[in-house]
Amino acid sequence: MPSQTELANAIRALAMDAVQAANSGHPGAPMGMADIAEVLWNGLMRHNPANPDWPNRDRFVLSNGHGSMLIYALLHLTGYDLSIHDLKQFRQLHSKTPGHPEYGYAPGVETTTGPLGQGIANAVGMALSEKTLAAQFNRDGHTIVDHHTWVFLGDGCLMEGISHEACSLAGTLGLGKLIAIYDDNGISIDGEVEGWFTDDTPKRFESYGWHVIPAVDGHDPAAVKAALMAAKAETSKPTLVCCKTVIGKGSPNKQGTESCHGAALGEGEIALTRETLGWSHAPFDIPDDIRARWDQRVSGAEQEASWQAGFDAYREALPDLADEFLRRLRGELPANFDEQVDAYIAECVSAGADVASRKASQQALNALGPVLPELLGGSADLAGSNLTLWSGARGVSAEDASGNYVYYGVREFAMAAIMNGVALHGGFIPYGATFLIFMEYARNAVRMSALMGQRVLYVFTHDSIGLGEDGPTHQPVEQLTALRATPNLHTWRPCDGVESAIAWKHAVKREGGPTAMIFSRQTLPAQISDAEQVDRVHRGGYVLVKEQGDLDAIVISTGSEVTLAVEAAERLSAAGRGVRVVSMPCAELFDAQEAGYKETVLPSEVLARVAVEAGHTDFWYKYVGLDGRVVGMTSFGESAPAAALFQHFGLTTDNVVAAIEDVILD
């Protein structure tokens, strides 16, 4: 019977062979963590290779995602639908085994990892989901949510600031089923980390409120198993298991050095490694006895069957709750959602209220929250400004996780990455908020939401120089452009309460990607007054004010500046000019419309066009053309009351009128 070391050597062999075949990749981490992975995946972790989406499976996150061949080898060996051919295609175009683990490519990959530190933050989100979902659905005698989140991470993850943000919060929330295994090999790309990373990591995590198991020999299977069992036994705190390992374990000339971190070992060194390991098999050849010891399909099916029997009993005792649980895991909205939200939108039209769009957002939450128990909200310490708390919001805590709102603290980056983990876990639709300017702190996690196609809702308030006295450090200028340039992200900037409600509707209903909703601090006048206009808002861009007589010019605007566009059009209409106002709350949605509709809104023969927005001007030239005009920002802001700033930077009705007259004359 193969030993555990021989089983781990199968990982080492597959890793070095795949990296060599691609002549690209990172063999060091998979070879160094092979012994730990064998202990975890070959008996301790609950998973079913035949059903990677089994609801009560343990989640596994490879936060040090450059070591992707580790997870690919594990998935292949344990019986997932990932063949030897797939491993041979490592890092090749459209393969199931890309250079870093990508969600949606290989079954069993729970999240996309690569940007270091985000994997551990995703794992915090998964563990948070498990704890909260369990508190909401488990009942006496019926435990249907009960699983662990395991995460591998390295020195690089711990150097990234997001690891502090996320792990600190994990300790505060008492995420006892989160277990992180730290690959303490002392090596990063630049060499030995003692020159730039000398933190006392165990004490650091103890200060977060974690259970810490230090100084584990990562190459001693018995020691690793004892540590992981001790981690599972601690249910009130997350656990960090610190494993000392040798990077590139088995490579006689490169192990323990940066030379095996991010490059193929080379044919000669691989031959020597095979000899050192006693691995006499050809590349990508796994002996039958080793395959048999790795295969987890039978045990996985048994584990799922046992859970299913428990769930069947739960369903018999609590049928409505069981149906709700399954609905939420499927990501389906309640059957009455459209009816409820459309009724609320109609109420907004009838009310015709002048309201700050951040307040309109909160009002939308008050309307939608009771219909959507799957909402899991939060704010990065700005709830009173972002207005993300609604009447039914209840905080999640270590003692009571049954709530629906997370106080993230000043942790914008971690908040966004944690929300990605929440969305990936299933059962919740997360939303989180901060000021638009601080989107920059969260930027890479927002990008990851879009890359993975996750339904994550971002609420960004205080959207322009309209923020006022806090000054240019807090006034966004280029952020709208950055968001709109992100593939698969929808960015909404509503002009009034109705558009704000519709933005929430679209964000909740959008299954294939995230949505950023951009809201104002200042009060905005009502603009939409009838159902026909409501229908057009759903297209992302539409004619808000139709020209009188012949069409001379088009002015396009969003958010608070729609008021300026409307006032300018009214003034020019009185002077006999035919000026059309187009509100474009979501350019991505507008761009996705059929050509015929877009032509009715922005007829190609009308070249006299002006765009108005209190953000960077460059984005708008795609609509107004190089001969058009953009009234917007080309510099940072200043500290002053909002009204003074709009006057100072030329965001005035007079300037919009002048710009329209200018393009008409052209």
What do you get for the CA distance between the two ends of the chain, in Å?
85
Tokens representing residue 4 in the block: 């555990």
Asked whether the beta carbons of 130 and 147 are under 8 A apart, the reply is: yes
Q: Which residues contact 545 (CB under 8 A, 6 or more apart)?
A: 565, 566, 569, 570, 579, 580, 581
> What would the two tokens of residue 575 be?
């002077």
Among the listed residues 451, 445, 398, the one whose alpha carbon sits nearest the alpha carbon of residue 419:
445
Q: State residue 63 phi and psi, 5-degree precision.
A: -65, -40
For the chain, give percent helix, strand, coil, nearest 5: 50, 15, 40
| Residue 130 among the catalytic residues | no
412: which 2 tokens?
A: 């914008």
Asked if 464 contacts 421 with a C-beta cutoff of 8 angstroms, the reply is no
Contact 97, 72 (CB under 8 A): yes
**Phi and psi torsions of 243, nearest 5°:** -110, 120
**Which structure tokens are listed for 570?**
């009214």
Q: Of 412, 499, 588, 613, which is the active-site residue?
A: 412
Phi-psi region of 560 (alpha: psi -120 to 50; beta: other; left: phi over 0): alpha
- For Cα atoms 252, 256, 261, give the angle at the middle one, nearest 5 degrees: 100
Instruction: Give exposure, 51-88, as e/b (b: 16+ Cβ within 10 Å).
Output: ebebbbbbbbbbbbbbbbbbbbbbbbbbbbebeeebbb
Q: Which amino acid does the sequence have at 298?
A: V
DSSP state of 142: B
DSSP helix/strand/coil, 392: coil
Sign of the CA dihedral running 617, 622, 625, 628: negative
Residues recognised as catalytic: 412
